[in-house]
Amino acid sequence: MIRVALTILLPLLAPTAIYFLWLYTIGRVGERGAPWTWLIVGGLVAAAVALVVIGVGSGSRTGTYVPPHVESGRLVPGQIMPPGGH
């Protein structure tokens, strides 16, 4: 859940939070409406960039996934075995 919050929700909501923080600091909180279209577009762009960066930064994982299993009474965690390695 924390990963979802950091990779999707934070970039999505950051432009709106920054805008309202800026309005608060200059003292114009109730003066005019927020530019919702630009805030939404900015949030979507930031979330898309975050997802692309995470997707590119995670690297290529080739191999076979071996799910968690029990071996000799011990739980062996899931892992990705390299190609041809067993």
Mean of all residue pLDDT scores within the chain: 81
Question: Residue 76 falls within a domain, yes or no?
Answer: no
Query: What is this structure's pTM?
Result: 0.50
Please give the structure tokens belonging to residue 33: 């409406």
What is the domain range of residue 37? 2-61
User: How many angstroms separate the CA atoms of 48 and 13, rounded?
Assistant: 12
**What would the pLDDT profile of 4-29 be if each residue is shown by its tens digit?**
777 778 888 888 888 888 888 887 76
Question: Residue 67 falls within a domain, yes or no?
Answer: no
The domain tally of the chain equals 1
Residue 14, Cβ neighbours under 10 Å: how many? 16
Question: Residue 71 falls within a domain, yes or no?
Answer: no
Pick from 15, 22, 21, 50: nearest CA to 36: 15
